[in-house]
Amino acid sequence: MRWLDTIIEDLCQTPRCGYQPAARPATEPTALSAIALASHGKNAAAWKATEWLAASQAEDGSLGVREGETTPCWPTSLAILAWIAVDADRYAKQITVATDWTLSTQGKRIEPTEDIGHDTQLIAWPWVDGTHSWVEPTALHVLSLKATGHDSHPRTREAITLLVDRQLPSGGCNYGNTEVLGQALLPHVQPTGLAMLALADEPDRSGRIEPSLNYLTNSLSAKTTAASLCWGLLGLSAHDRRPTEADLWLESAFGRTVRRDRSPYKLALLAIAASCAKGIL
């Protein structure tokens, strides 16, 4: 695919990247860039990204959002995935201390109330330290823990329970809540895609995974925004439900991204969604 080759050429030029061209490097887009480059055999460029991530790691194992900003540390999960994708042996120390940090960090329980529909006592991971657990950071940390062999760890298992609990009965999930003040919230593609990716190979005892997969299948199209489309496709692919039109939709999203901002973050995600048949690695 010519458009995919163009993305890889762009990422090779600036593997350490921010959310926008010429922006200072940030952990999330740089980690995604490393994963995309590694999936296409561009190891020399990928190492530039993972070396920057290693240099950015704090003594406690965490990584902040971008250069010069040491908190919040939710992107640590993506750094782990990038190091594994590029060279797990080379970055064994960084992976170990980052995983230790992940297991030591948790979201905050809040007291149950009739105004909130989800189980507020389940613990997983927040966006910001000291706050309640949310879907997207939890899904990313689950992916990193599964990739490091912690599939059966109690923290991973509780996080899986939380992700299932946060699925809406009609399918899909919001960013964290299911019902507020008696009102069911609307699902969104990106958090649903991330949750489905993290829930790959999990049994659907609750019956909540299948409706969410159906929601994604019915929601994606050539008009879906780039990031949501990528995470949605990755979530479906992890369950062997990748739509036959996926490549055409990704090409359409690539065209819009190039016309609008040529965001390295979006380009890296597009390359990953195009190349990964199941999962993110």
Q: Which DSSP state fits 80?
A: H
Whether the pTM exceeds 0.85: the reply is: yes
Is the preceding omega at residue 21 within 30 degrees of 0, hence cis?
no
Share of the chain above pLDDT 70, in %: 100
- pLDDT tens for 47-58 read 999 999 999 999
The arithmetic mean of pLDDT across residues 1-27, rounded, is 96
Would you say residue 14 lies in a domain?
Answer: yes
Q: How confident is the model at residue 119 (pLDDT cuts 50, 70, 90)?
A: very high
Of 129, 234, 145, give the one whose Cα is nearest residue 190. Answer: 234
The arithmetic mean of pLDDT across residues 227-253, rounded, is 97
Q: How confident is the model at residue 113 (pLDDT cuts 50, 70, 90)?
A: confident
Would you say residue 7 lies in a domain?
Answer: yes
Would you say residue 140 lies in a domain?
Answer: yes
- pLDDT tens for 57-93 read 999 999 999 988 999 999 999 999 999 999 999 999 9
| Single-letter residue type at 35 | I
Would you say residue 280 lies in a domain?
Answer: no
- pLDDT of residue 278 exceeding 90: no
Number of domains in the chain: 1
Would you say residue 257 lies in a domain?
Answer: yes
The number of C-alpha atoms within 13 Å of 106 and in the hemisphere containing its C-beta is 15
Would you say residue 281 lies in a domain?
Answer: no
Q: How far apart are CA 211 and CA 167, in angstroms?
A: 9
Give the CATH number of the domain where residue 232 resides. Answer: 1.50.10.20
Residues sharing a CB contact under 8 Å with residue 134, sequence separation 6 or more, in sequence order: 107, 125, 126, 127, 175, 176
Tell me which residue range forms the domain holding 69: 2-275
The arithmetic mean of pLDDT across residues 177-198, rounded, is 91
DSSP string over 106-169: -PPP----TTB-S-TT-----SSTTS---HHHHHHHHHHHHHTT-TTSHHHHHHHHHHHHTS-T
